[in-house]
């Protein structure tokens, strides 16, 4: 149990376009979902936390107008990278949690390359 | 969240037990210890977590010292597929800060 699916797994697009990444909890309801970013040879950096039906809470230094997060249901959260530029190229990973002290479960990540 | 300290890298022979240490000397009473691992180019995988008692599951054992200032993750029979970066994370239970903050972890290299 506790499977998190992320789509797409890889995306390449031109500079200036917007890219949407989906994160789904397949076999449980996730009260909270998280979005991370990871650059090569670095650790995961938390970008934002979202609770179903409410606005996401962004970490310091993360532009909320650049990285739009929607958590419309207990099984789906989306991250949209707006007007993407080459410096936004990274590995984006979502995770989901049932609640309380339950562990977070992670998707397999989306590798975003902006040309 | 309490900070954790892990060695940057460790080696282990295939078939032997891998013991990964973690120091969390500033942990508070309501903070849990979580272990995750990340195999190259994949999302992190949950391994185990605990509060103060030792824990065991099908993947690993977690040994927490009595003062809770350190812990050890034990992989009883390491295989080549266990080569990964292992993260020890301390997380507050409840409230707005209930999130995982990743440090730099330990790169475990299992040698044939």
- What is the structure's pLDDT at B47? 97
**Is B78 strand, coil or helix?**
coil
- What is the structure's pLDDT at B7? 97
Phi-psi domain of B94 (left: phi exceeds 0; alpha: psi -120 through 50; beta: other): left
What's the CA gap between B67 and B97, in Å, rounded? 23
- What is the structure's pLDDT at A7? 96
* Closest Cα in chain B to A56: B96
Residue from B5, B34, B43 to probe the interface with A (highest A Cβ count within 10 Å)? B43
Q: Write out chain A residues lying below 8 Å of B99, CB-based.
A: 34, 46, 49
**Mean pLDDT of the residues in chain A:** 93
Pairing mode, strands B9-13 and B18-23: unpaired
| Residues B51-108: tens digit of each pLDDT | 999 999 999 999 999 999 999 999 999 999 999 999 999 987 665 557 888 999 999 9
Q: Write out chain A residues lying below 8 Å of B100, CB-based.
A: 34, 46, 95, 104
Distance from CA of A98 to the nearest CA of B (A): 12
- What is the structure's pLDDT at B19? 98
- Point out the least confidently predicted range of A9-23, B27-41, B89-103: B89-103
- What is the structure's pLDDT at B2? 65
| Residues A29-82: tens digit of each pLDDT | 988 899 999 999 999 999 999 988 888 999 999 999 999 999 889 999 999 999
Contact B46 A43 (CB under 8 A): no
Contact B87 A93 (CB under 8 A): no
Q: Write out chain B residues lying below 8 Å of A93, CB-based.
A: 43-44
Is B63 in contact with B74 (CB distance < 8 Å)? Answer: yes
Residue from A44, A48, A54, A108 to probe the interface with B (highest B Cβ count within 10 Å)? A44
Q: Write out chain B residues lying below 8 Å of A1, CB-based.
A: none
The closest CB to that of A43, out of B32, B45, B104, belongs to B104
What's the CA gap between A30 and B108, in Å, rounded? 31
Contact A104 B46 (CB under 8 A): yes
Residue B5 DSSP class: B
Does pLDDT of A1 surpass 70? no
């Amino acid at each position: 149990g506790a499977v998190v699916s992320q789509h797409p797994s890889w995306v390449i697009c031109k500079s200036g376009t917007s890219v949407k990444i989906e994160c789904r909890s397949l076999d449980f309801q996730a009260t909270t979902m998280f979005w991370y970013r990871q650059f090569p040879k670095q650790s995961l950096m938390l970008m934002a936390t979202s609770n179903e039906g409410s606005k996401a809470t962004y970490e310091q230094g993360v532009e909320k107008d650049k990285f739009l997060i929607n958590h419309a249901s207990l099984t789906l959260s989306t991250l949209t990278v707006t007007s993407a530029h080459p410096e936004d190229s990274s590995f984006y990973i979502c995770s989901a949690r049932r609640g309380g002290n339950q562990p977070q479960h992670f998707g397999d990540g989306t590798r975003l390359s902006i040309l | 969240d309490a900070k954790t300290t892990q060695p940057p890298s460790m080696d282990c022979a295939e078939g032997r037990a891998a013991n990964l240490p973690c120091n969390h000397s500033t942990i508070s009473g309501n903070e849990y210890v979580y272990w995750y691992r990340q195999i190259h180019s994949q999302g992190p995988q949950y391994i185990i977590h605990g509060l103060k008692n030792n824990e065991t599951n099908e993947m690993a054992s977690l040994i927490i010292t009595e003062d809770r200032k350190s812990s050890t993750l034990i992989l009883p029979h390491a295989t080549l597929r266990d080569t990964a970066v292992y993260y020890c994370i301390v997380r507050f239970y409840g409230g707005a800060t209930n999130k995982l903050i990743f440090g730099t972890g330990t790169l475990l290299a299992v040698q044939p």
